[in-house]
Chain A
Amino acid sequence: AQSVAQPEDQVNVAEGNPLTVKCTYSVSGNPYLFWYVQYPNRGLQFLLKYITGDNLVKGSYGFEAEFNKSQTSFHLKKPSALVSDSALYFCAVRDLGSSNTGKLIFGQGTTLQVKP
């Protein structure tokens, strides 16, 4: 069964420092991986996805993610954090159990706190 794990409940960084939010996955086959961000009282906003190809994926708001097949990881990164990046971040993997389903399986979420 497909699964995704976010090992950190919370990540704290200072504004201007690089940030990393970790995600590891378990799939039988080629993974389709996604990152979403949720601001307070808002829906999930799509940041980026990995389908195939280049292991470094660039997304919205200056975020990028590095796909590492050997470590089964898909960590979200940003070179310089902003206070406005403070939010809840979700990693997700597309369920590959059936060709008909678009179901996403989400990690438990990581709260990113960027301090001025």
Chain B
Amino acid sequence: DSGVTQTPKHLITATGQRVTLRCSPRSGDLSVYWYQQSLDQGLQFLIQYYNGEERAKGNILERFSAQQFPDLHSELNLSSLELGDSALYFCASSPGTSGRSETQYFGPGTRLLVL
């Protein structure tokens, strides 16, 4: 167990809908990262937050947004869902204070299926 929790584990929804994925980082970690794992794209970085502020953006669609709250949990919002958004969404966390050598610890993921 990495200490990173994600809810829900599974999500089934319809095209055009909006969903929210939630992540709680390891205790004391300030950085949260979101990744998408799909069969065709592999593991792709979406976005990083550090202590409530957006730190880096990757291949994140405009229909997707995220935020990190004062208690450091993070939410990834996916709207106007399309079939191609079906994927496994991972959250990871790290202390955020040790630079590039830091290890990111991953949660179990949320499997999203858009029908």
B100 contacts A94, CB within 8 Å? yes
Among A43, A49, A94, A107, max chain B CB count under 10 A is at A43
B56 contacts A98, CB within 8 Å? yes
B42 contacts A109, CB within 8 Å? yes
B interface, how many residues as a size bin?
20 to 34
Please, how many angstroms separate the alpha-carbon atoms of A44 and B56 in the complex? 21
Q: Name B's interface SS.
A: strand
Flag B93-109 by CB within 8 Å of A: 1 or 0 each: 01010001111111111
Flag B23-54 by CB within 8 Å of A: 1 or 0 each: 00000000101010000001111001000000
**Is A116 engaged at the interface, CB distance under 8 Å to the other chain?**
no
**Is B84 engaged at the interface, CB distance under 8 Å to the other chain?**
no
CB distance from B56 to the nearest CB of A (A): 4
Total contacting residues, chain A, CB less than 8 A: 26
B55 contacts A43, CB within 8 Å? no
Known: A44-B90, A101-B56, A103-B58. A32 touches B100 (CB 8 A): yes
Please, how many angstroms separate the alpha-carbon atoms of A106 and B106 in the complex? 14
**Is B20 engaged at the interface, CB distance under 8 Å to the other chain?**
no
B56 contacts A108, CB within 8 Å? no
Flag B77-115 by CB within 8 Å of A: 1 or 0 each: 000000000000010101010001111111111000000
Known: A32-B101, A34-B103, A46-B103. A101 touches B43 (CB 8 A): no
Please, how many angstroms separate the alpha-carbon atoms of A88 and B85 in the complex? 22
Of all chain A residues, which has the CB nearest B44? A106
Of all chain A residues, which has the CB nearest B43? A106
Residues of A within 8 A of B58 (CB): 103
CB distance from B84 to the nearest CB of A (A): 18
User: Contact residues of A with B, CB < 8 Å?
Assistant: 32, 34, 36, 42-46, 49, 51, 90, 94-96, 98-109
- List, sorted by A's number, 9 A–B pairs whose CB atoms are closer than 8 Å: A43-B90, A45-B106, A46-B2, A51-B101, A100-B56, A101-B48, A102-B56, A106-B42, A106-B43
